[in-house]
Structure 1
Amino acid sequence: MIIPVLNITNVQLTQLDHETWCVTAQVSDLSSPVEMSNLWNDSYWLSAYLSSHMVFTEFRHFKWHYHAVQKPISKRSIAHRQRQQQRQGVRQLLQALLNKLEISDTLDESSFPYRLSKSKYYVCFSHTAAHNKDEFNKKSHQNIPAISYSKIAAVISRRRPAGIDIEHNDVAWHIVKRFYSDSEITILQTLPKNQRDYIAKLLWQIKESFIKIHQYTLAQGLGIDYSDVIPALTDDMNKDFITISHTNDQSNHQIAVLQADQTVVVF
């Protein structure tokens, strides 16, 4: 299997405090490499053109041309390819961050939360799909592999686990009503729809980040009440960068919202 060449662009590095850094980027698959072992299977056809004055049996004089016949790409294959792309991409992004900070270390993935092997810094990843649907449809019609895009993010923290979540899609209101706390839903219902959807998505990202920190189950983490941060999120929703303190019986954390990158970090 050939590992695809990834193109990481729009890299944004943010230092959240003297012990915490996060980085976001866009990753795309630049190639759809073909393994030579598959060259002779039914996915390809061979055409030969005989030069003039050559005898048919003199195969050394054939000019061979290989034409890839693109098979239809299933949604399952696309999803699998994108998961591989995201997994590879966040690790390349982490390495870029370590290089920038002049940290010589490797990732230990033997348990959660992830840590760096030597320094023991805490590491967390996030990614979200960002297909260009128009480009995908156009290229699919032409039997050309579509280039898929993902947004990826990583955070490292010296002193304790940090959580990060990057997300482009809104959270459906029926999902909010199913999982969010009564206090959160009550406040959200008082907001105009566009503001409600914006805050609901940020709450989802905050919940996801805390899930990664405390290793909650999904249902448990989504049900925790973070209604205390809604007023600050609402008041500052037009700012590019928001920081909020969140303190309860279980934790004392800072929440950072990077608007341009659609990323939330809890640290």
Structure 2
Amino acid sequence: MPTSNLTQLQYTQLDTTTWCVTAQVSESISHLVTESLWKKSLWLSSYNTSCKDIIKLNSLNWHYQVALAVPKHSIPALARKQRQQQRHGVRQLLQELLKKLEIDDTLDESSFPYRLVNSQHYVCFSHTGAGSSKQTTKSNQTNFTHLHSKIAVVISHQRPAGIDIEANNIAWHVVKRFYSKSELAILQELSTDQRERTAKLLWQIKESFIKVNQYTLAQGLGMDYSHLIPSLIENNKEINASSLFSNIEDTKRQSVYRIAALQSQQTVIVF
């Protein structure tokens, strides 16, 4: 498995059987530009361009590639690279967590929820959407230099756990589409900042329960958690705090789950 560049690792023990870790994974994408330019060279060679000219062209491309923007046709390749980076990143992060806990085990990915082969710990992953670092040249040309994502892993020995890491707020039109009437009624009465923070936490709780119970997206996002909003608002008073709040009954499994909000890590765990 390719090695990803993991930074900003933060480990958290939630209880005696549940641990999580978050990190950022990043990778240079300059090689994608080089690959595109190389394909152009091969295309020119098919039209009887001399070998000498191709070598000269490649030399110029290598010299000036940092000053080139990613070609439009490379955007799908960047998206594929991002997904691959996230897939590898969370699995590498799991290995870092297992090493931290001195657990020698491997991941069974044959069915959901994921489990470790020997210890049978439950495993859940999360990552943010596509992100990139960019710079602007003197000609106001935007150049993308790195792909990056925030990633998170939780393992639990007792039962399935869900985790969600989100870097951005949830757009209000998306909230109105998926949230229950009771949730919307409360959220609309809040100040803009408080509403955005609370709506985001609700989204993360919903996403986490989707992973715990293998709900469909529409089913999970449509669940009514309006009774949690007072606790979420209270939690939001300390924006950078890590909090454990509100037990919540899971009607599908007839069990009570706990919810942890690691605000500085932009992460919510249901366990």
Bucket of the pairwise TM-score, normalised by the shorter protein = 0.7 to 0.9
SS at match of 1:224: coil
Distance 1:82 1:94 in 2: 18
Deviation at 1:148, TM superposition (A): 1.3
User: Match of 1:219?
Assistant: 218
- The DSSP-based 3-state class of the residue aligned with 2:151 is strand
Check conservation: 1:4, 1:32, Cα contact below 8 A.
no
Q: 2:232 aligns to what?
A: 233
In structure 1, runs of 5+ residues without a counterpart are 49-63
Match of 2:9 in 1: 11
Which deviates further from its counterpart, 249-258 or 83-92? 249-258
User: Which one-letter code corresponds to 2:248 in the other structure?
Assistant: H
**Superposition deviation, residue 28 in structure 1:** 0.4
Q: CA deviation at 1:163?
A: 0.2
Which residue does 2:260 correspond to in 1? 256
CA RMSD of aligned residues (A): 2.8
Alignment map for 1:144-155 (pairs within 5 Å): 146-155=145-154
Q: Deviations over 1:101-147 (max 9, x none)?
A: 000001111111001111110000000036345x2555997796521
Query: What is the match of residue 109 of structure 2?
Result: 109
AA at the equivalent of 1:78: L
Distance 2:235 2:97 in 1: 28
* Separation in 2, partners of 1:140, 1:258: 41
Structure (1 or 2) with the greater helix fraction: 2
Checking the alignment, whether the CA contact within 8 Å between 1:189 and 1:196 is kept in structure 2 is: yes
Q: Kindly tell me the number of residue pairs found equivalent between the two proteins.
A: 248
Q: TM-score, normalised by structure 2?
A: 0.82
Alpha-carbon displacement from aligned partner over 1:197-245 (angstroms, at most 9, x marks no partner): 1100110000000000000000000111111111011012133111121
Give, in whole Å, the separation in 2 of the partners of 1:199 and 1:163.
19
1:1-267 aligned at under 5 Å gives the runs 5-30=3-28, 32-33=30-31, 41-43=39-41, 45-47=54-56, 67-68=61-62, 72-73=71-72, 74-129=74-129, 131-132=131-132, 135-138=134-137, 146-239=145-238, 240-244=241-245, 245-247=247-249, 249=251, 250-267=254-271
Other structure's SS at 2:145 match: coil
Percent sequence identity over aligned pairs: 56
Q: Measured at CA, do residues 235 and 31 of structure 1 come closer, stay the same or move farther in structure 2, by a change above 3 Å?
A: same
Which SS does the other structure have where 1:171 is aligned? coil
- Retained in 2: the 8 A contact 1:5–1:30? no
Deviation at 1:30, TM superposition (A): 3.9
The amino acid across from 1:262 in the alignment is Q
Which amino acid in 2 is paired with 1:85?
Q
In structure 2, distance between residues paired with 1:203 and 1:125: 18
1:111 maps to a residue whose letter is S
C-alpha displacement at 1:96, in angstroms?
0.3
* 237-246 or 205-214: bigger deviation: 237-246
Specify the SS of the correspondent of 1:260: helix
Stretches of structure 2 lacking an aligned partner (at least 5 in a row): 43-53
What TM-score does the superposition give when structure 1 sets the normalisation length? Answer: 0.83
Distance in structure 2 (CA, Å) of the matches to 1:228 and 1:164: 20
Are 1:27 and 1:89, in contact at CA under 8 Å, matched by a contact in 2?
A: yes
Instruction: Please give the alpha-carbon distance, in whole angstroms, between the structure 2 residues aligned to 1:90 and 1:201.
Output: 22
Distance in structure 2 (CA, Å) of the matches to 1:144 and 1:131: 13
Q: What one-letter code is carried by the residue in structure 1 that aligns with 2:20?
A: C
Q: Could you tell me which amino acid in structure 2 is paired with residue 23 of structure 1?
A: V
Q: CA deviation at 1:38?
A: 9.6
Please say which of residues 7-16 and 72-81 is displaced more in the overlay.
Answer: 72-81
